[in-house]
Amino acid sequence: MNENEIKHVIFKILKRIAPESDPSTLAPDENIRKTLDIDSFDALNFFIGLDEEMGVTVPESDYGKLNTLSEIIPYLSSRIG
Amino acid sequence: MAEFRMPSLGSDMLEGTLVEWLVKPGDRVKRRDAVAVVETDKAAIEIEVYEEGIIETILAQPGQKIAVGAIMAVIRTEAGKKAETPEKATLKDASQLLAEGASVPAEDKEKKLPSIPEVEARRIKVSPYARRLAAERSVDLSTIAGTGPDGAIGATDVERTTATVITQPAEKAPPTPIEETPREASQKEAPPAAPAAERHAAKDYQTAMRRAIAAAMARSKREIPHYYLQMRLDMSSTLRWLESENLKRPIKNRILPVVPLIKGVSLALRDVPELNGYWIDDRHQISEAINLGFVIALRQGGLIAPAILNADEKCLDELMDAMRDLIVRTRSGGLRSSEMTDATVTVTNLGDLGVETVYGVIYPPQVALIGFGKTMEQPWAENGMLGVRPILMATLAADHRATDGHRGAQFLDALNRHLQEPSNL
């Protein structure tokens, strides 16, 4: 899975959580939770979505490091193998 | 015979639109059966009955707007005696609200609002945002296939459909005449027709939602002498314990930090029951059941606080499931009337965006609201040593008519005590 494909999956999950938003307009360094108004319940759903769609289980202790696209995409691509 | 009336699904509700009957004459019903779906300003709710018997007559028709307290059906009960009206207390509340001259014409409880032709509705679950979108684009929700949980219609479904059917006119049901009830046979003049603005209420959910919240919150601030207490809670033990619990779980079963808070509140209310219940008719009514209203913000604005029933009896996994289920149903449709009416206390968690302290407005006729801010690393002095701990500000907004600060302090102390022993939660 290349970076663009990862991005596509992320956008799909985000669109499911925040249907009125357009995730593709997110800037690489934008805080996703704040921009899309995602609460902790939906943040958990986002990580569940990553687990289901990509098989990457993000441990709770890493939640805090994954706030922007530029943080999430490399994190995922290094774990997808 | 028992009269099945439009229940008040919260002190802010004045009327509801009948979407669909889930029973027909001759059907046997028992306590807590869902018998109808009613659309309120906030959501479509499944209405439950509170008596056993057989549906004798159905009086209200789908599409009709019905005032709180108006008779919707007659139930033949075993004993044949008039059964208690469900939620007597809150019903009274709403009628007081009506009497106070809110924006809807005050109706005698025995009268029925006139039938207003509305879009024929079948039983559909719709997320509030999808509903607004559909209303904005004048799309009939019954023409849309939902792809969400239980076939619920989401915004994407509306978007997909509107791309193709946007130009088609919505199907209209023929106007349904009101059936005359024996009670109404001798009735005087018909109530005035609802103003035109009311007829288009479906197109303006945001306005309706704001109006509902405005009515409840203005009443709260007008009537309830609030007092506020706050306590800093050291969350080290709770969070450490939760982290080790979540490590053992697959990601789907992880527990959010708000869940132990909910359980802590429920257990503390067992210790200090005075904060759990209502203030009605100048009287403090303590509730035995701890039904915890949990504030859920809707993405498009507004909020709903459905109840987690008997929260104190649930373990953390059950509470997490209950909360997940409530959030999903709040956002996609399918809440039940008991969840809307039975909350005995409310919890609001605003920590997600970094709020430190919540000063809550009590949801009448409840007597307390517990607020949680964000857990933040802060300096904490103990035994002459200064350390850094995850600190959470818990606040209590309570009704001074029902309790005094001393009771409130006992509650916060109990909450803290329970959170320091997370394995017992």
pLDDT tens readout for residues B18-52: 988 999 999 999 988 899 999 887 778 889 988 89
pLDDT band per the 50, 70, 90 thresholds, residue B136: low
pLDDT score for B85: 44
pLDDT score for B124: 65
Nearest beta carbon to residue B251 from set A18, A41, A47: A47
B261 lies in the same domain as B384: yes
Contact A20 B353 (CB under 8 A): no
B80 belongs to a structural domain: yes
Average pLDDT of the segment spanning B183-197: 42
First to last CA, chain B: 45
Per-chain mean pLDDT for chain B: 80
B229 lies in the same domain as B364: yes
B286 lies in the same domain as B312: yes
- In residues, how long is chain A? 81
Average pLDDT of the segment spanning B61-86: 77
B123 belongs to a structural domain: no
Contact A59 B247 (CB under 8 A): yes
B278 lies in the same domain as B201: no
B411 lies in the same domain as B306: yes
Contact A60 B300 (CB under 8 A): no
B135 lies in the same domain as B229: no
B219 belongs to a structural domain: no
B319 lies in the same domain as B409: yes
> Which whole-number Å values give the CA distances from B350 to A22, B293, B297, B373, B393, in the listed order?
25, 15, 10, 5, 11
Q: Tens digits of per-residue pLDDT, B312-351?
A: 999 999 999 999 999 988 887 788 888 888 999 999 999 8
Which residues of chain A have a CB within 8 Å of the CB of B295?
A: none
CB count, 10 Å around CB of B203? 14
Average pLDDT of the segment spanning B303-309: 92
ipTM of the complex: 0.89
Name the minimum distance, in Å, from the CA of B239 to any CA of chain A. 11
B47 lies in the same domain as B161: no
B290 lies in the same domain as B257: yes
pLDDT score for B145: 75
B253 lies in the same domain as B380: yes
B264 belongs to a structural domain: yes
Q: Say which range, B14-23, B82-91, B360-369, has the weakest mean pLDDT.
A: B82-91
In this complex, is the C-beta atom of B328 within 8 Å of any C-beta atom belonging to chain A? no
Best mean pLDDT range from B56-60, B126-130, B283-287: B283-287
pLDDT score for B129: 67
Contact B155 A19 (CB under 8 A): yes
Domain span at residue B254 reads 225-424
Average pLDDT of the segment spanning B248-268: 95
Name the minimum distance, in Å, from the CA of B243 to any CA of chain A. 8
First to last CA, chain A: 9
Write down all domains in chain A, each with its CATH number in brackets: 3-80 (1.10.1200.10)
pLDDT band per the 50, 70, 90 thresholds, residue B397: very high
B159 lies in the same domain as B179: no
pLDDT score for B149: 67
How far, in Å, CA of A37 to CA of A50, rounded?
19
Contact A20 B155 (CB under 8 A): yes
- Give the single-character DSSP code of A60: G
Per-chain mean pLDDT for chain A: 92
B134 belongs to a structural domain: yes
Percent of chain B with pLDDT over 90: 50
Q: Tens digits of per-residue pLDDT, B365-376?
A: 999 999 999 999
Q: Tens digits of per-residue pLDDT, B145-157?
A: 777 766 777 777 7
B258 belongs to a structural domain: yes
Residue B22: which of B3, B44, B43 has the closest Cα? B44
CB count, 10 Å around CB of B424? 9
B248 belongs to a structural domain: yes
Angle in degrees, 0-180, between the axes of helices A3-17 and A69-80, rounded to the nearest 10: 120
B122 belongs to a structural domain: no
Average pLDDT of the segment spanning A17-30: 91
Q: Is A16 exposed, middle or buried (0-12, 13-18, 19+ CB in 10 A)?
A: middle
In chain B, which residue's Cα lies nearest the Cα of A19?
A: B155
Contact A41 B246 (CB under 8 A): no
In this complex, is the C-beta atom of B300 within 8 Å of any C-beta atom belonging to chain A? yes
Q: Tens digits of per-residue pLDDT, B192-244?
A: 444 444 444 444 677 888 888 898 999 999 999 999 999 999 999 999 999 99
B104 lies in the same domain as B153: no
Provide the CATH number for the domain around residue B352: 3.30.559.10
Q: Tens digits of per-residue pLDDT, B376-392?
A: 999 999 999 999 999 99
pLDDT band per the 50, 70, 90 thresholds, residue B84: very low
pLDDT score for B147: 75
pLDDT score for B88: 41
The count of domains in chain B is: 3
